[in-house]
Amino acid sequence: MSTVTEKATFAAGCFWGVEHIFRKHFGADGITCKVGYTGGNTEDPNYRLVCTGSTNHAEAVELTFDPKRVMYETLVEFFYKMHDPTTANAQGPDVGTQYRSAIFYHSPEQKEIAERVTQEVQEKHYKDKKIVTQFIPAGKFYDAEEYHQLYLEKNPTGYECPTHFLRW
């Protein structure tokens, strides 16, 4: 019996922290994560090029999940819980379009869910600040270089991601 999986793609600042916190909280539910680049206009981007801001790609995480084990709605809410969606093109000390808050939706249903959850989170948790998360149709996802994959597992004391923590 095969399992039907879906993809969810999120950008929320430095992809090391985003990957790490999703794996930590949903790894037991069978979610797999990879970091990469999406949403831009350059074929086969690399880290150095993305960091210049010239590609318009975001550092992003692509999740593969079983919707019978974890609902997309749960992932979207967690996305909002683990970063600050009210800052445009920045998360803490990381500044640039590559660090924007964005949901790259893979279907009209995902877009509808993301918009609904965003409204709920806005009303409940960000009454005094506007959520600036972008909703973008998912396009090609370019895997980041191997040394970026599972970076915080490979380098547990090598870098702190002070912007990725649970806010509520």
- For the question of residue 161 being annotated catalytic, the response is no
Catalytic pick from 14, 33, 51, 161? 14
Instruction: Give the CA distances from residue 62 to residues 22, 34, 162, in Å, rounded to whole numbers and listed in that order.
Output: 10, 5, 21
* Cβ–Cβ under 8 Å, residues 104 and 15: no
d(CA 76, CA 118): 8
d(CA 88, CA 47): 21
| Residues marked as catalytic | 14
